[in-house]
Structure 1
Amino acid sequence: MVHQYRNNGYNIVLDVNSGAIHVVDDVTYDVIPLFEAHTTGEIVAALKDKYKEEEIKEACEEVSELKENQELFTPDEYEDYIMDFKKRPTVVKALCLHIAHDCNLACRYCFAEEGEYHGRRALMSYEVGKAALDFLIANSGNRRNLEVDFFGGEPTLNFQVVKDLVKYGREQEKIHNKNFRFTLTTNGVLLNDEIMEFANKEMANVVLSIDGRKEVNDRMRPFRGGQGSYDLIVPKFQKFADSRNQNNYYVRGTFTHNNLDFSQDVLHLADLGFKQISVEPVVAQDTDDYAIREEDLPQLFAEYDNLAAEMVKRHKEGKDFNFFHFMIDLEGGPCVAKRLSGCGSGTEYLAVTPWGDLYPCHQFVGNEDFLMGNVYDGVKNTEIRDEFKCCNVYAKEKCKECFARFYCSGGCAANSYNFHGNITDTYDVGCELERKRVECAIMIKAALADED
């Protein structure tokens, strides 16, 4: 499969199965879609009114060489691989610990219903968290590197337990020859010097939740009394990011129908000094007034294009920042298994409630149809695990002909379920935005390479 597009003055050709990317001239760009089904003579006849014959023939020779080198029109060799991957023994490598089913904000788009997750407010006890880490170690097989995200609600509401669990995890590392990578997601309300110091010592990554401009953030991320959170959290986040040398963190926002000009929020965060930025589209039903709709897509496409062009411009000015959705490794990239099956939810990655129940990921928590077991007895509902094990780009009809499938790995299973009632479909609006992001990310790489 080959995908061609033009962006910011570049003619870009992506060979989907090999991952090879080519920036080509106009004549080669026009030859490529004709190449597989036509002879050189036929291609010359089709394009002779636009280009000189020798230019067309030269382009045909270049395309032929790329094909011979398996950099263009390469066959798909991954479909057989995924069958072997599904047969592998299941090991757990990551847990999302719901340290607090409670929150001190009332974000309007929160899928966790102000931290309650369709249930009751609760804080995870040390005993449950300890059992969760024991479960992870016991089910991790030979995998040495393990990941634990302290999540909520708002995990700093239960920060003593966070500290106690990190201490316990560090003790178990030595005993079991494991290495824990702890991360923290916080809204910043309770951030103080003690929490920052601890996080800088123990947390490999920190996610700081903020939506961008003050009016945008405060509209969607207020306190329960309606007051905005922007003025409180911004100076804390700036201090925190600087204390981590502008690395190993993200300021993470959500854009909605209310701020379709979201690139301005990204640039606002960059202008505040943040170097690691992620602003992502809300996932919501059409009945929500803030939901992204199909008619919003043209404007959002333009926003991504404008943001990509601005990032190239700022790079030339020495004002770089990273935007999460444009960060694509075009040379190495994720392993084949991850490219085909994504985050590993329901198999390698599980969410743990404050009382120890296991779900495929944080977005399924509270849906009893997806209750898999608990940290004491392990995974008992193996049918759910096996269903997620079979969830990959080849199980999704919409992915089979999509050029971005090896970048998004088939998208989010929870989004598929929430919109279609099963995990092997896709969230269509999200797919459109993903395709645009991939195109912009590749264009940025092409522009930066053009400078070298």
Structure 2
Amino acid sequence: MAFHARNLEVADISEELWGEMTQASNDSLRSVLTDWNNEINPQTTTTVPGKEIRALTINVTQICNLKCTYCAAGGDGTYGAAQTKISVEKTLPQLKYFLEKVADSGTFRIGFIGGEPLLYPDGIRAIANYVKLMTAGRNIRAQFSIVTNGTLLTDENIALLEEIKCNISVSIDGEAKYNDAARPMKNGQGSTAVVVEGLKKLFARKENFGSITLHGVFTAENMHVAEAYEFYRQFPADAYEFTYSVSDLNQEASDTFTREMRLIAAMAYAEGGETALRKISFFNRIFSALDEQRRTENFCGAGKSFLVVDARNNLFTCPWDVGNDAMKVGQGTEVFEGALEEYSSPLIEQNNCQSCWARFLCGGGCMYVHKEATGSKHQKNGQFCERTRSLVGTAILYFKKSRQTDIQEDSDYGKH
């Protein structure tokens, strides 16, 4: 098979053509491939973040009831500066400031994170109600999401999440023998049993939420990705998300994570074809981009369409920068002059990704991950690039397999 990096086209290559491609002197074939490479497909589009902030992630707390071994938020959810709860009185004017700058169309997204955000449900309710009030009658759809450790899924908190039709991501790294070791309570006891009980209540009312995702983080100490996938499948989640730790630079673990991700892709496809494979968030994202022929030039909208509000109402471009005063780009309703200027250019340009075949499906990679490895958010982390290219390649192979029956044969050298 072949892949057109710029047009996001997948081509099927006959065995005869593949054989000819091994002949370096085949001028006719080289000419055909050059012509294809130079083609511009007008149907291919590029996702360009708007120049207005359309998404805010809010640290409603900077405390947590767990002490995860790999926590990148200061080791205890505080980002090095504990804050029991955000000031709603300071946050509402901040929301007003950003919402008044938004054109009357599209979606405005609010994400609730911590620490553990469900330690302050009253703050979540007050913020959500205010956003709904501010967007009413403006043709703006307010969308809410939360990342929670799942230990506080009480009836009252579930009712709150129902009330705002929340998209819910529950962090759990697999079955108890792995999750309890990585995500213990602060008293040292395991958290898995409590999370599972909460999940059962959550899924019993599944139709009342936006979506439910199960999310695991994997480090050198826990590379049991396939076992986590098997564990997740007992729950009727909308999506499963598998993340390699943002601060783990272990090459062997990185390679193992890639192999495990390929394994769960094979498991999913064998069991349920494209539908099952696309429940894994990474593969769903690549399939969507290929189906829509939609190029991505930015791994995320940090500093472009997205900002973070910490529990002290400071502004950052990335959730992992919270607590680092040097990375602060604003305070309250003030965005520091020139602070967002460096984010104006596409990441694939700033990160020098122009020669990478996977650039329009990766978007330049995570700036925080790059900085953790190299000291600069625009100097690429080689391990991240290797993992991403490998998994993008896996996704393209399954995309081709899934779409094969829908593709009509092309007479040019067996290209489809």
The one of 157, 182, 189 aligned to 1:227: 189
Measure, in 1, the Cα distance between the counterparts of 2:291 and 2:297.
Answer: 17
Match in the other structure for 2:218: 255
Measure, in 2, the Cα distance between the counterparts of 1:318 and 1:90.
Answer: 35
**Counterpart contact for 2:50–2:304, Cα < 8 Å:** no
Match in the other structure for 1:5: none
- TM-score, L = length of structure 2: 0.87
The one of 8, 26, 31 aligned to 1:19: 8
The one of 251, 255, 263 aligned to 1:306: 263
CA spacing shift, 1:426–1:318, aligned 2, 3 Å: closer
1:213 aligns with 2:175: yes
Match in the other structure for 1:186: 148
SS in 1 for 2:347: coil
1:380 aligns with 2:319: no
1:419 aligns with 2:373: yes
Shift of 1:342: 2.8
1:326 aligns with 2:279: no
1:214 is matched by which residue type in structure 2? A
Greater CA radius of gyration, 1 or 2? Answer: 1
**Counterpart contact for 1:341–1:410, Cα < 8 Å:** yes
Match in the other structure for 1:370: 327
Match in the other structure for 1:106: 67
Match in the other structure for 2:232: 269
Measure, in 1, the Cα distance between the counterparts of 2:168 and 2:373.
Answer: 30
Match in the other structure for 2:130: 168
The one of 234, 237, 253 aligned to 1:296: 253
**Counterpart contact for 2:168–2:210, Cα < 8 Å:** no
CA spacing shift, 1:347–1:449, aligned 2, 3 Å: closer
Match in the other structure for 1:57: none
Mapping of residues 347-362 of structure 1, within 5 Å: 347-362=304-319
The one of 246, 250, 254 aligned to 1:283: 246
SS in 2 for 1:73: helix
How many percent identity over aligned positions? Answer: 22
**Counterpart contact for 2:7–2:293, Cα < 8 Å:** no
**Counterpart contact for 1:115–1:121, Cα < 8 Å:** no
Measure, in 2, the Cα distance between the counterparts of 1:296 and 1:186.
Answer: 26
Shift of 1:297: 4.0
Measure, in 2, the Cα distance between the counterparts of 1:170 and 1:341.
Answer: 29
SS in 2 for 1:411: coil
CA spacing shift, 1:150–1:438, aligned 2, 3 Å: same
Measure, in 2, the Cα distance between the counterparts of 1:153 and 1:18.
Answer: 41
Measure, in 2, the Cα distance between the counterparts of 1:407 and 1:28.
Answer: 26
SS in 2 for 1:206: strand
What are structure 1's unaligned runs of at least 5 residues? Answer: 1-11, 41-59, 285-290
**Counterpart contact for 1:213–1:268, Cα < 8 Å:** yes
CA-to-partner distance for each residue in 1:239-259, whole Å, 9 max, x for gaps?
A: 313422497121111011122
**Counterpart contact for 1:417–1:423, Cα < 8 Å:** yes
The one of 312, 329, 344 aligned to 1:389: 344
CA-to-partner distance for each residue in 1:385-440, whole Å, 9 max, x for gaps?
A: 0112235102212x222221111100111122222222212222122111122122
Mapping of residues 109-120 of structure 1, within 5 Å: 109-113=70-74, 114-120=76-82
2:261 is matched by which residue type in structure 1? Y
Measure, in 2, the Cα distance between the counterparts of 1:297 and 1:34.
Answer: 35
CA spacing shift, 1:450–1:415, aligned 2, 3 Å: same
**Counterpart contact for 1:206–1:249, Cα < 8 Å:** yes
Higher mean alpha-carbon deviation, 195-204 vs 403-412, is at 195-204
Shift of 1:175: 5.5
Higher mean alpha-carbon deviation, 104-113 vs 121-130, is at 121-130
- TM-score, L = length of structure 1: 0.80
Shift of 1:13: 1.5
What are structure 2's unaligned runs of at least 5 residues? Answer: 407-416
CA spacing shift, 1:271–1:126, aligned 2, 3 Å: same
CA spacing shift, 1:292–1:269, aligned 2, 3 Å: farther
2:230 is matched by which residue type in structure 1? L
**Counterpart contact for 1:200–1:244, Cα < 8 Å:** no
Match in the other structure for 2:386: 432
CA spacing shift, 1:31–1:15, aligned 2, 3 Å: farther
CA-to-partner distance for each residue in 1:58-108, whole Å, 9 max, x for gaps?
A: xx59x93x765xxx4136899xx99xx7xx983111101110111111111
Q: Which has the higher contact order (CA 8 A, sep 6+)?
A: 2
Shift of 1:375: 2.4
Shift of 1:448: 2.6
What is the RMSD computed on CA atoms of the aligned residues?
A: 2.9
Alignment length (residue pairs): 398
CA spacing shift, 1:185–1:263, aligned 2, 3 Å: same
Match in the other structure for 1:443: 397
**Counterpart contact for 1:363–1:414, Cα < 8 Å:** yes
**Counterpart contact for 2:104–2:140, Cα < 8 Å:** no
1:157 aligns with 2:119: yes
Measure, in 1, the Cα distance between the counterparts of 2:2 and 2:376.
Answer: 33
Measure, in 2, the Cα distance between the counterparts of 1:32 and 1:231.
Answer: 56
SS in 2 for 1:136: helix
Measure, in 1, the Cα distance between the counterparts of 2:97 and 2:118.
Answer: 23
**Counterpart contact for 2:212–2:237, Cα < 8 Å:** no
SS in 2 for 1:271: coil
Higher mean alpha-carbon deviation, 116-125 vs 249-258, is at 116-125
1:251 is matched by which residue type in structure 2? L
CA-to-partner distance for each residue in 1:306-326, whole Å, 9 max, x for gaps?
A: 212111111159967610111
Shift of 1:224: 0.9
Measure, in 2, the Cα distance between the counterparts of 1:403 and 1:109.
Answer: 32
CA spacing shift, 1:131–1:325, aligned 2, 3 Å: same
Measure, in 2, the Cα distance between the counterparts of 1:449 and 1:239.
Answer: 38
Measure, in 1, the Cα distance between the counterparts of 2:3 and 2:41.
Answer: 17
